[in-house]
Structure 1
Amino acid sequence: MQTRELTVPGAWEITPRQFGDDRGTFLEWFKEPVLTGALGHGLDLAQANCSVSAAGVLRGVHYADVPPGQAKYVFCAAGAVLDVVVDLRAGSPTFGRWDSVLLDDVDRRAVYLSEGLGHAFLSLADGSTVVYLCSQGYAPGREHGVHPLDPELAIDWPSHGRDGTPLELTLSAKDEQAPSLAEALAAGALPQADVAARFVEDLRARGAAVAP
């Protein structure tokens, strides 16, 4: 299993080894020691989610207040999605930057994003099944969004699906009504970079304290 930090600090791409024969394929899509080695702390698992989407469904950009935030480990079990991580940490040197990873049932990569980052994905095939591990459970009062089509973010969403068919984007009513990045920043609704950094450092310190 290989890890690579994305251009958005605090986000990683994880590529597993796959073992296949005439019966099918086996892989380990999550290994705690590998993730801990990359992050310097483990993932406190509080909830596991599964999302199934038709082609063209666009979810996000979602984020949670820090603390406690919500770190996510995201994997596509079937189909394909373009997974996008956005730096929403006000005051960050990379504020507003985004990076993407193709998650699919071929290479079977995963993405980890730490507390304070925004997350979105676009389904590129019918029945795309995304499962993700979360460090905190669902808490509506602490969870927010930024519009995924905000021109300031300028996320390069694909116009065609995995099979080459043109995509018609479908957003939830909540995501359609999400503020722009500038509006969320002006409202003081975004995570603060220094607060998020201290939170992650505390996780690392706690992890070091319990290490054998």
Structure 2
Amino acid sequence: MTITPTSIEGLIILTPRIFNDDRGHFFESFNEASFNDAVGYEVQFVQDNQSFSTKGVLRGLHLQKGEHAQAKLVRVTQGEVLDVAVDLRKGSATYGQYQSVLLSADNNQQFFIPRGFAHGFIVLSDTAIFQYKCDNYYNKSAEGGLHYADPALNINWQLSADALNVSDKDKELPFLKDISDLGF
């Protein structure tokens, strides 16, 4: 597996070694020991989630606050998405900055997002299946997030605003300037 650090400390892109032959291909999608070595500390995933979405669906930017914060290891098993993580760690040199990565069933890359980040994605293909591991259980009372169109973030979602399909709940998320202490 190839590990590629990003410009934001803690965010890494993982690219598997793919073994192809005339029957198809094989790759190891997760190995706990190799993964923990890559991130530099032990991460114990406790929950796996999956979503199916159509083109233009934008989910995010979501987070879990305080003791319920979650690290995520995300991947796409069908289709293509633009995945985005926004650094919200107080005192971080990259606070308020984001990193985006194109994840697809073709490139088989995974994106590790540690605790302290808001996370979201947009579907660029006709449909996509998005899977992710979390190191903490979901807690409804700890939900939080950032508005996907926050001008302070200026995220390029790669589709026009009228092509986006965003939930009413996500349209109500606050802007970066309006958030208070998130507990990380």
Q: Which moved more, 1:151-160 or 1:92-101?
A: 151-160
Matched, 1:151 2:151: yes
Alignment of 1:1-20 (within 5 A): 1-20=1-20
CA distance in 2, matches of 1:191, 1:14: 28
What are the residue-to-residue correspondences of 1:21-170 with 2, within 5 Å? 21-159=21-159, 168-170=163-165
Write the distance in 2 (CA, Å) between the matches of 1:143 and 1:58. 17
CA contact (8 A) 1:81 1:125 kept: yes
- Name the residue aligned to 2:182: 190
- Residue in structure 1 matching 2:175, options 163, 180, 200: 180
Please identify, of 46-55 and 5-14, the stretch whose mean Cα deviation from structure 2 is larger: 5-14
CA distance in 2, matches of 1:174, 1:88: 20
Q: Displacement of 1:34 after TM fit?
A: 1.9
Q: Deviations over 1:13-35 (max 9, x none)?
A: 00001122232221112121221
CA drift of 1:68 comes to 4.0
Q: When the two structures are superposed, what TM-score results if normalisation uses the length of structure 2?
A: 0.94
Shift of 1:156: 1.3
CA contact (8 A) 1:55 1:127 kept: yes
Q: How much does 1:173 deviate?
A: 1.2
Structure 1: 5+ residue runs without aligned partners? 161-165, 193-212
> How far did 1:129 drift?
0.5
Higher strand share: 2
- What SS does the aligned partner of 1:38 have? helix
When the two chains are superposed, the root-mean-square deviation of aligned CA atoms in Å is: 1.6
Structure with the higher fraction of residues in helix conformation: 1
Q: Which deviates the most, 49-58 or 36-45?
A: 36-45
C-alpha separation in 2, matches of 1:18 and 1:173: 40
- CA separation in 1, counterparts of 2:125 and 2:167? 18
Residue type of the partner of 1:99? Q
Rounded to whole Å, the distance in 2 between the matches of 1:120 and 1:7 is: 18
Among all aligned residue pairs of Structure 1 and Structure 2, give the percentage whose two residues are the same amino acid: 38
Cα deviation, residue 40, structure 1 = 2.1
Q: Deviations over 1:118-137 (max 9, x none)?
A: 11111011220111011111
For residues 142 and 16 of structure 2, the distance between their equivalents in structure 1, rounded to whole angstroms, comes to 32
Question: What secondary structure does 2:12 align onto?
Answer: strand
Letter aligned with residue 8 of structure 1 = I
Contact kept, 8 Å, 1:49 with 1:132, in 2: the verdict is: yes
Distance apart, 1:189 and its partner CA: 4.1
Larger gyration radius, structure 1 or structure 2:
1
